[in-house]
Every structure is written in C-alpha cells, then in structure tokens.
Amino acid sequence: MRIDLHAHSNASDGTEPPAVVVAAAQAAGLDAVALTDHDSAAGWEEAAQTADAVGIALVRGMEMSARHLGVTVHLLSYLHDPTYPPLVAALERVHAARRERAQAMVERLARDYPIDWESVARRAAGGAPVGRPHIADELVALGAVPSRSAAFERLLHPRGPYYVRYWAVAAQDAIGLIRAAGGVPVFAHPGATGRQRLVGDDGIVQMHDAGLFGLEVRHRDNPPEQRVRLTALARRLGLAVTGGSDYHGAGKANRLGENLTAPEVFREIIALGALPLVGRAPLDG
Ligand code: AMP
Ligand code: FE
Ligand code: FE
Ligand code: ZN
C-alpha cells in the first residue's frame, strides 16, 4: 500500500486545486493521500468529491502553524473536526497574523522591487492563508527571480533583510487543540535543517507530553543524520514514524509518493481520528 500523508493545494500555497492534487495522487499510484493545507480545511470538500470519483482514499488533514521557543514549527493534523470552536479561533488568529506579516514583508520588499500588496493578496486564492510562496510568485511574475525556490534562496529566507516573523500558537497548545478536535497530531519535517533552528530533543519530549502522535521522519528536508536521530527518539518516546511528500504542485520539486507512511501507522491514525476516511477504503482491497 502506498500512503502519502502530506500534500498541499491552492487552498493554501500549492499551485493546483484540490481536485487536481487528488487526481494526481491517484494517477501516481497512491492508495491514500492526505490533503494537508496550511492552517485550512477549505479544500476538503472538493478533494473528497474527487477521491470518490477517481477511487483513492482521502485523509482530511491540515498543517498547522505553531511555534516553539521562537521557532516556527509545522504540525500535521489528521481527521480532526474542523468546526471545533477553539481550533477555529486559533486558525482565524493565525490567518490574521499571516496577513499582517505578509504585508510587512511586501513593504520591505517594495523598497527594492516594484511589488504591491494587492497583487500578492490576489494570489492567495479564495481566502487561502497568505504565505511567502504567494509573495514569491509575484516576484517571479515581476521578473525579479526565476522561480519560487530562487525567491526563497535569495530574498525570503529567515535570515534575509525582508523576512518578518508571524504570531502562531505555541506547539504544545496546538497539539492540545488538535487532540481536543479529535485529530491526530504529527510534527512535520522535524529535522528540516536549512529553515530555522531545529527543535531539540527536549522540545520533542515536551510535545510528546502534550499529546503528539508522531514524527514525520520520511520527508526530503530531513537529512540522513536527522532521520537517525528522530527514529531513535521516536522509538524511545513511543512516537509513530510517518512519511509524506509535501507536494506543492509546480511550487516545489517534491513529487507525490516520494515519501510514504507504513500501513500499520496509517491504521492507527484512522482508528484515532474523529473523522472517517473518504473515497475508496484502502484497507479492504
Ligand atoms: P510561510 O508559511 O509563509 O512561512 O512560507 C513557508 C512555505 O514556503 C512552506 O510551507 C513551503 O511551502 C514554501 N517554501 C519554503 N521554502 C521553499 C523553497 N525553497 N522553494 C519553494 N517553496 C518553499
Ligand atoms: Fe507550504
Ligand atoms: Fe511544512
Ligand atoms: Zn507542508
């Protein structure tokens, strides 16, 4: 069974609509895919319709922005109730913070590039939470950089002059909210060097104590030595190990199915989550 538990659509910062992502997952030979847009469940309905139509199991998920000691961390949530009011309130606050932050970054960029906020805001489709990829796309359109990746490498990275941080929920609180909403929380790309500082073992222990289910060890941004460290830590703490592609359509080189989650772990997630899978039942065939 091929199970990819990390993919984005244009309901956040992927380049393709949810229907296209789910159809591409089926075409890539996956049995199950999770749609995990940043801080949003807006793509779920469209994704579910396509999952039914093409015959693939869909895990309704999200990648929630959080922070740990000033470092941004991403928490995948699977099968949570998206209407749980405290979670909805936290996400609304994150959306507002992302917007203010993106505006502040555009103001800084506007000193050196002919970029304006309205053009960036338009790139976040239908109220999608705005992120640096939307700024990157506008910089590409202006001819300032050749690609999203180049925009990140040259202009948008955390140590650059245009970077601005944004408020997000503390990781332990985010894990509590996800659990209270019936979701299954997994720390996304916990060994991703080259972003910001890594969360240390002590931080992961704290997240474990707050109710973390697993670590996304199999992700292209975790280098081999980090995978060794995280695998050992997962075993010691009794955390599950997961994998996912972090597909963003044309926005990143990541391909659907390039990292997978084991069927046993997938079964545990299904058993724990508040919502059922939709589309085809992958465990019966
Ligand atoms: P933000 O959520 O605004 O902080 O932006 C982070 C997002 O930017 C991540 O979720 C990725 O989708 C994207 N991203 C980060 N680095 C790169 C890169 N080198 N190339 C393309 N997209 C990237
Ligand atoms: Fe992203
Ligand atoms: Fe992420
Ligand atoms: Zn992601």
pLDDT, one tens digit per residue, over 13-60 is 999 999 999 999 999 999 999 999 999 999 999 999 999 999 999 999
Atom of ligand 1 nearest to the CA of 133: 8
The tokens for 24 are: 């591409």
pLDDT confidence tier of residue 282, bands split at 50, 70 and 90: confident
Q: Per CATH, the architecture of 100-154 is what?
A: Orthogonal Bundle (1.10)
> Residue 7, Cα to own-chain centre: how many angstroms?
7
Nearest alpha carbon, ligand 1 atom 11 = 133
The Å distance, Cα 63 to ligand 4 centre, comes to: 6
Q: How does pLDDT run across 76-87, given as a tens digit for each residue?
A: 999 999 999 999
The Å distance, Cα 13 to ligand 2 centre, comes to: 5
Which residue is it, tokens 């724990």?
Answer: 272
**230-255 mean pLDDT:** 98
The tokens for 135 are: 């700024």
Q: Which ligand is nearest to the CA of 194?
A: 1
Ligand 1 binding residues, C-beta < 6 A:
13, 38, 131-133, 148-149, 152, 248, 251-252
Sorted by sequence, the CB contacts under 8 Å of residue 108 that are 6+ apart come out as 161, 162, 164
> What whole-number distance in Å separates Cα of residue 21 and Cα of residue 255?
11
> Residue 213, Cα to own-chain centre: how many angstroms?
16
> What whole-number distance in Å separates Cα of residue 108 and Cα of residue 26?
42
Q: Examine the pLDDT at 194 and tell me if it is beyond 80.
A: no
Q: What pLDDT does residue 284 have? A: 54
Q: What pLDDT does residue 47 have? A: 98
Q: How does pLDDT run across 196-224, given as a tens digit for each residue?
A: 789 999 999 999 999 999 999 999 999 99
Q: Examine the pLDDT at 195 and tell me if it is beyond 80.
A: no
Q: Which ligand is nearest to the CA of 7?
A: 4
Residues with CB under 5 A from ligand 2 (ion): 13
pLDDT confidence tier of residue 264, bands split at 50, 70 and 90: very high
pLDDT confidence tier of residue 72, bands split at 50, 70 and 90: very high
DSSP for the chain reads --EE--B--TTTT-SS-HHHHHHHHHHTT-SEEEEEEET--TTHHHHHHHHHHHT-EEEEEEEEEEEETTEEEEEEEES--TT-HHHHHHHHHHHHHHHHHHHHHHHHHHTTS---HHHHHHHSGGGPPP-HHHHHHHHHHTTSSSSHHHHIIIIISTTSTT------EEHHHHHHHHHHTT-EEEESSTT-TTSSPPP-HHHHHHHHHTT--EEEEE-TTS-HHHHHHHHHHHHHHT-EEEE---B-GGGSS--TTSS---HHHHHHHHHH-SS--EES-TT--
Q: How does pLDDT run across 111-138, given as a tens digit for each residue?
A: 999 999 999 999 998 889 999 999 999 9
Q: Where is average pLDDT lowest: 174-178, 188-192, 278-282?
A: 278-282
Q: Which amino acid is at 214?
A: G
**185-190 mean pLDDT:** 98
**159-181 mean pLDDT:** 97
Length of the chain: 285
Is the C-alpha dihedral spanning 51, 52, 57, 62 positive or negative? positive
Nearest alpha carbon, ligand 1 atom 20 = 149
